Every structure is written in structure tokens, then in C-alpha cells.
Structure 1
Amino acid sequence: MSEEGVAVRRARSMTRMRPAEYSRHDREQHALGYATEDERSGFEHDVDRILYSTQWRALAGKSQVVASAELGIYHTRLTHSVKVAQLGRRMAERFVREYGGPSPALVEAACLAHDIGHPPFGHTGERALRKAMDVIRGGPDPVDSFEGNAQNLRVLTYLAAHKTAKLRGLHLTRACLDASTKYPWQRGPADGDPERHTKWGVYAADRAAFDWVRDGRTGDVRPVEEEVMDWADDITYVCHDTEDFYRTGLIPLAALFPPPGGAGAESERELGRFLDYVEAKRSRLGRPFDRGAAAELLAEFGRWWIVPAPFGGRHADGVEVNTRTAKLIDYLTGGISLDVGGKDAIRYGARLVVPEEHRQLCELLKELLWCYVIERPALATQRHGKERIVSDLLVWTYESVDLLPPDRAEELDDHGDALRAAADHVSSLTEAQAIALHRRLSGASLGSVNDNVWI
């Protein structure tokens, strides 16, 4: 069957399988013969289907910032997604009390699904897959490649399995798929909008599914549930990942945010070093940076978010960390509101309003992770190794499609794109699976005939 025929068949199947739209009470009319006594709403079904999928479970073995096997109690993509979902639901519950929507279950489902397409080694693996696909194709593809957000939609609508063999994907509601799509466009050419070339939410092969999800909308406007999910993602990232690396001594929070009267020469040097990093980075990216305003914002933040000393591992230190994290979450969620304009506070009837100083502070706290952790030389050498593993696996699988597991081989018969099948396979692996499979295929360690490294 042609690619166009496959896409049309998938779009028709989704129309049969899923509720037409998000209603005020988010009730789903079940078309598959589910028991009538099942009182779950359509969005509660979405939550459960995501939680029970193998792709969501695999996030336990995928990086948030450092490798999932790194010694220490670091967040993985799974624990990150759980906390995004918890925070997103709490914000939605508050909005229901204040505005009558959006659905907390829908926001929770979108949060759970927002990273489900991430490959092993997080953004490092994502970049490696993109580069390797470009090399195989003989140059950068102007409209398609690998992108974790586009892979989310592919997992949810095509790769994942539910209860009906004839119809692929998790059979999620249109609203859930829409709310979990952070970049509602296809990849643009390299000489166009840089954001559209580096971040996008749908592959050409999944365009029919995307068009069904967007229901004829051609603009870039996003539903309010996606905006709540995205803000919950940002807050969780800066709060819990900063906490991880403060505990391990990599981010010097005690020097950056000392108690009143404790800001000596060392603290000033550390703050200057951090601001130098941010200024140089923004300059490279062609983005404006007001150093004075940033310093003032951090100083104001530090007046109430005080870090008295480096983490010492005592019970009292753990209490202080948890207290500061809670205060930061309260601050970043406390000033938000919805602009409903007289409409229902669901989907395209509302916009999330976040105070500008909250967004600016969040962006600065993200830079702490880049300055002190992600761009450390030790992590840079690890990135090189991770990229090599992912790139090699993609090339080897593409060149020998008999290495594909049975489900990916069946999909190759369905859509006929060997490179996409190889990318789907490699991106589905946990980091332990990717390392073991790379050692096996390279001959470094053959393992055992009983190994099932892709299951």
C-alpha cells in the first residue's frame, strides 16, 4: 500500500475509534463494546492507557539530564513525567474551581505523554538520530528527520499497542493528542524559521493523524491544556533537576543565593561567572540579554529563596531542600491565571497567563543546569559516547533490517520506510538496552543467545 493510502486508512480508523470532541463533562461514548458500568471519562481512559503502555514504562530507563544508570538518586524521564503530571493536574484542579475548566484528567494525560517519544540518552540521543538520518539521506532533510516531540505523536497514534489489533496506537481522545503536541507544525526548511527547523511536532508520515487531531486548524495556536502541561514541564525541570545537582555538589546554590549578609567576594564571583555564561550563550544565539535586569531578578529571588550552605546529607539538609522546592513551585504557580474572554475554559477558549518575571526567572534557572552540569567536560565526553551508540545502532539497523524486532518489521511491511523503522526501533530502546545491543552488534560483548535486548 502507498504511503498516502496508509495515512488515509489510519485517519479513518481514528475517526471511528475516538470521540469527536472534548465536551464540558469530558464523557466518552465507547464504540468498542467496553462494559457500560465503566464510569471512567474519556480523559481518565487516556491516563490509564498511557500508564499501561510499554513505551511509558520504558521512560524509567531514559535520561532526564544524566544517564539513567548514573549512581545517585537522579530523576529519569519517568519520574520527571510523573511530577509534571502531578503539578499539571493540581494547576488544572485550581482552574476548575476558579474558571470551570480545563479537565484535570486531560491535563494529567497530556503531561504523562509529553516525553513518551524520547529516545535513549534524551536530547543527546535525539540529536544523534537526527544527524545519522541526515547522513544516510545524503544531507539534511528540509522537512523531516527525527524529533522527540514528533515521535510522541507517532508513538501514541501508531507504534503503541492497545486492545484492538486492527487499529494501531492507544486510541486516545483528540483533545489528549492535541494537548500533548507542543509544536503543532511539520518541520520547516533550514533557511526558514529556525524554531520550525529544530523543533516540530509531526512527521510527514503521520500528517493524516495530525490533521485529524487539529480538526482543520491551520494556525499555531495551542489548546490551554497544552499550555498548562508546558508550564508544568518547565517548573518541574528547574525545580527537581536543580535539586538533584545541588545535592551532588555540582550547582553552587549556596554561593548564588546565600543568606542575608553572606554575599561576599566568592558569591559575587560565582554570580558573575554565571551571568557571563548566560550572556555569552545568548549572544551566540542572537538573543537579547539584559545583564542588569537578570542580576536584579536573581537578587530579588535570593532574598526569599535562601540557601544557607552546600548540601551536607543530613536529615535537616533534606528538609531544607524540600522546603525550598515547595516555595519555588508555589511562587511559579501562584501568579498564573486564565484569560477566558467569556468562553469556556477549555481547549481554544482560554489562554494561560504567566507573569513575565516568572518566565524570566524560570529561563535563568534552566541556565544553571546548562552552565554547571550539561556543559561540564565530563558530561561532554559522555555525550560523545552516547551519540556514537545511537548513531551506530541506527546505521546498522537501517543497513540490515533483519535486525528489527518483530513489531518494527511488521510496521516496515506496512509503511515501507526502512530508515523510519530503524529510527522507531532505536528510539524505543532504554539506555541499558541500547548499550547492550551496541556491544553485541559491535562484537565487544556478544552476550547470550537467550538475551532479548529489545523486549
Structure 2
Amino acid sequence: MDQLQPYACLPETSRGRRFPEEAAPTRTPFQRDRDRIVHSTAFRRLVYKTQVFINHEGDLFRTRLTHSLEVAQLGRSMARTLGLNEDVVETIALAHDLGHTPFGHAGQDALHECMAEYGGFEHNLQSLRVVDHLEARYPQFDGLNLCFESREGILKHCSRTNAHALEQAEVDFPAAAAGVARRFLDGGQPSLEAQLCNLADEIAYNCHDIDDGVRSGLLLMEQMLEVPLFSRYARQALTQHAQLAQPPQQRRWLYESIRLMLSDMVYDVLKTTQAQLAESQPASVVEVRATKPLVLFSPGMRAETRELKKFLFDHLYRHDQVMDTMNRAKQVVRDLFDAYLETPAEMRQDSEPAGDITLQRRVSDHIAGMTDRFALREHARLTGKTLFHV
């Protein structure tokens, strides 16, 4: 479907940017946003940031960059079928993890603990902070000055406290381009493109974490067959291709099982969302924001994906080997935070801090922007310890 539906994010009705700019002669505002993300420093760093396995643990495991590319592919494919704006979906998908720390969720948890008395740390909020403040590329403003619709989608979660703070920080900007956190106070919804990215993200990490988990040897196909959702597609793959049961074909069996599962998840979202749209019949993105969530799994698929996520949590994310790695990664982050707080000059930054912020937030920004391997090098330099052999 090439034509955008009236409930999509339309370039001509965009709420615009916080700092007005002249229109680009050959690109829509949303295409311009996507290009700014791709050329940003934070985006390049994602190639060396952990998804589940730390970068040095293997060259073929997903990173935050490859994960973001997979989310973008899934999101664009579904957006095309639903008549949504692919450029907005791609922008959100490529930017949604820009605020992630080194070492994945372990790094985030450790940094949140360090910042507990200073406002905490949350990677969705940090992703918005990256595109609003921390990217230093333009002479007229800090950040990338993205459109409201892109910023709205990047801010996937937000506490009421942080939402109030964001609202207050935007009072000096044009009213149309402000209010990116308003929905967290009023109970509204983001655009359909943002809702779609949330599910594309979930589909991507559920599927590729199975792949990486089996590749690592921490998960076995025999274990995965105990999960009803995965087992259904694994047995379907054998029914269609009996040769996959042979040991030399095990890797192809895994890939085909994941492919079938991923495809069915996508089709489930499309069918369920199309039914929701037919029932609600929103006439514009404004009406989308004022109604219930519309981009959804069916109840059956939602229940099965939750069961899959619980399995991955218990058997992969909390595997003894992963936990050992994550505990050491947390120690790296805590040590870095303490070292920089004690001697701020050790933060060898190539730009001025963004805005009038505390030293603790400066340290948090600095650590959050690190890649895995840079964090390890800095940790060794500042502490003389080697917690990982890279």
C-alpha cells in the first residue's frame, strides 16, 4: 500500500520542530529526521553496545545496532501494509535505543542505582535526551532538532515525575512542537507509527534472542521445544522439511522455526490492528492519540508471547553465565561513576555539557554514551583492574 491513510503521520500536518528550520528541497521532514539519526554519533556507537551478549563474546551475536536495523525492517514492512508512514517508523526504530548504556540492561540498572538520589536513569528518557541535547552537530541548536512525531515515538516510557519535568522544559518552545510527554499525564496514546515500533521491537528481540541464545549454547533446541509458541513452528518446519531433523541441518531448523514464528507474529499484529482500525475508524492522528491503543497482538498471541518472554527471562537472561557477566559489567559502571565523580577531569569529552546540569548527570551522560569496549578500557585505565579479558 503506497498511499498513506488519514490516521498516519502526514508530513504536511507534522507538529514541527522545537527550533524552526526551512524545509528541505528533496526530503520530507520525517525523511530528514531519519537521515539525521543515521549520521549521528550515538547511532554509530550502537554497533559496540550489548544486546544480550557483550561485544567481545562473539562476532555474530546481535548488538544494539543490528537489533535496531531489524526493528526498522519489521516496522517498515508492517507500516506499508497498514498505510502508515514508513519514514516515521524507521526513524523511531533506528533511534529507540540511542540512550542505552554499555552492557545492556545490566549497565542501565547499575547507572540507575548510581543516580538514584539524582533523578535516576532510564534509557528511553536518555534516548530523547540524546536527540534533544547531547548530539552536538549543529551551530544553531543542541541535539538533532527532530520533529515532534519522531520524538514522541522515541519516548516509549516515562514516569509522571519525568513527564512533568519535560513539560516544564518545553514551555519556551512553539506550542505545536512541545508536549512530547503530555500523554503520560493525560492518559493519551502516541501515533500509530510509535505503537507499531513498540511491537516491532518486541517481535525482533523475542526472535533474535532465541537465535543468539541457541548459538551461544546457553539454550538448547530441546529446551525451546518446551515453549508452546516456538514448538508449534518448529514442528511445522519439520512437517514441511523433514530433512531438518538430521543433525547437520539443526541450524537451518532453528532458522526456519524462527522465520515461521516471526512471520506469524507479524501477520497477527496486522490482522488485529486492521480490525481495531475498522472498529475505531480514526480520521486523523489527533483522533488516534485520543483513543485506546490500536496496534496490538491478538489475545492468544499476546498470552503466548508473554510465556515465551518468561522462558527467555528464566533460562537466558538469568542464566548463571549471563548473570556472572552482567554482575561484572555492573561493577564496571559503578566504578566508572565513582571515579568520574571524584575526578571529573578524567571525563575527556570533546564537547561542552548540554545545558545547566549537575555533575552527577554529566557523569551519567558520559557513561551512557560509552560503547562496551570503551567502558572496559576506561575502567582499566582508572582502576587498574581487568574484569573482562577482551
Structure 1 length as normaliser, TM-score?
A: 0.71
Assess if the C-alpha contact under 8 Å between 1:61 and 1:76 holds in 2. yes
Q: Which residue of 392, 396, 405 corresponds with 2:339?
A: 396
Aligned 1:359-398 pairs, distance under 5 A:
359-398=302-341
Amino acid at match of 1:130: H
Percent identity (aligned): 27
1:130 CA displacement: 1.1
Assess if the C-alpha contact under 8 Å between 1:63 and 1:77 holds in 2. yes
Assess if the C-alpha contact under 8 Å between 1:159 and 1:169 holds in 2. yes
1:227 CA displacement: 1.3
Structure 2 residue ranges without an equivalent (≥5): 1-7, 172-176
Amino acid at match of 1:212: A
Match status 1:157 vs 2:124: no
Q: Which residue of 121, 133, 152 corresponds with 2:103?
A: 121
Distance 1:311 1:204, change over 3 A: farther
Structure holding more helix per residue:
2
- Aligned residue in 2 for 1:77: 64
Distance 1:347 1:357, change over 3 A: farther
Distance 1:207 1:394, change over 3 A: farther
Q: In structure 2, what is the Cα distance between the partners aligned to 1:215 and 1:385?
A: 35
Q: In structure 2, what is the Cα distance between the partners aligned to 1:399 and 1:51?
A: 35
- Aligned residue in 1 for 2:39: 52
Match status 1:433 vs 2:374: yes
Match status 1:411 vs 2:350: no
SS at structure 1 position matched to 2:206: helix
- Aligned residue in 2 for 1:179: 153
Assess if the C-alpha contact under 8 Å between 2:11 and 2:30 holds in 1. no
- Aligned residue in 1 for 2:93: 111
1:123 CA displacement: 0.6
Distance 1:32 1:72, change over 3 A: closer
Q: In structure 1, what is the Cα distance between the partners aligned to 2:377 and 2:301?
A: 43
Distance 1:118 1:366, change over 3 A: same
Distance 1:322 1:359, change over 3 A: same
- Aligned residue in 1 for 2:365: 424
1:150 CA displacement: 1.0
Distance 1:56 1:209, change over 3 A: farther
Q: In structure 2, what is the Cα distance between the partners aligned to 1:28 and 1:416?
A: 28
- Aligned residue in 1 for 2:54: 67
- Aligned residue in 2 for 1:251: 219
User: Per-residue CA shift, 1:201-245, capped at 9, x if unaligned?
Assistant: 769478524991438543233222221001001100111110112
Q: In structure 2, what is the Cα distance between the partners aligned to 1:428 and 1:203?
A: 25
Q: Which residue of 174, 181, 199 corresponds with 1:231?
A: 199
- Aligned residue in 2 for 1:193: none
Assess if the C-alpha contact under 8 Å between 2:52 and 2:104 holds in 1. yes
- Aligned residue in 2 for 1:240: 208
1:133 CA displacement: 2.1
Assess if the C-alpha contact under 8 Å between 2:30 and 2:91 holds in 1. yes
Distance 1:73 1:35, change over 3 A: closer
Structure of greater Rg: 1
1:317 CA displacement: 3.9
Aligned 1:4-403 pairs, distance under 5 A:
22-23=9-10, 31-33=20-22, 36=25, 39-96=26-83, 102-134=84-116, 137=117, 144-162=119-137, 164-187=138-161, 204=165, 207-209=168-170, 212-214=178-180, 217=183, 218-223=185-190, 224-257=192-225, 271=226, 303-304=235-236, 314=248, 316-336=249-269, 337-338=273-274, 339-340=276-277, 341-344=280-283, 346=285, 348-349=287-288, 351-403=294-346
- Aligned residue in 2 for 1:4: none
Runs of 4+ more than 4 Å apart:
24-31, 297-303, 305-312
1:333 CA displacement: 1.1
Assess if the C-alpha contact under 8 Å between 1:103 and 1:346 holds in 2. no
Distance 1:371 1:156, change over 3 A: same
User: Per-residue CA shift, 1:394-435, capped at 9, x if unaligned?
Assistant: 111122221223356x216x4141000000001100010000
Q: In structure 2, what is the Cα distance between the partners aligned to 1:242 and 1:44?
A: 33
1:305 CA displacement: 5.8
Q: In structure 2, what is the Cα distance between the partners aligned to 1:215 and 1:391?
A: 30
Q: In structure 2, what is the Cα distance between the partners aligned to 1:256 and 1:443?
A: 41
Assess if the C-alpha contact under 8 Å between 1:149 and 1:202 holds in 2. no
Amino acid at match of 2:81: R
1:127 CA displacement: 0.7
Distance 1:165 1:71, change over 3 A: same
User: Per-residue CA shift, 1:278-333, capped at 9, x if unaligned?
Assistant: xxxxxxxxxxxxxxxxx6x6765665365988995x5x444333322221111101
Amino acid at match of 1:64: Q
User: Per-residue CA shift, 1:261-293, capped at 9, x if unaligned?
Assistant: xxxxxxxxxx4xx8xxxxxxxxxxxxxxxxxxx
TM-align CA RMSD: 3.1
Amino acid at match of 2:322: L
SS at structure 1 position matched to 2:283: coil
Q: In structure 1, what is the Cα distance between the partners aligned to 2:348 and 2:102?
A: 17
Assess if the C-alpha contact under 8 Å between 2:167 and 2:180 holds in 1. no
1:132 CA displacement: 1.6
SS at structure 2 position matched to 1:415: coil
Q: In structure 2, what is the Cα distance between the partners aligned to 1:357 and 1:367?
A: 16
User: Per-residue CA shift, 1:3-53, capped at 9, x if unaligned?
Assistant: xxxxxxxxxxxxxxxxxx9536567989545663xx211111111111110
Structure 2 length as normaliser, TM-score?
A: 0.82
Higher RCO (CA < 8 A, seq sep 6+): 2
Amino acid at match of 1:386: A
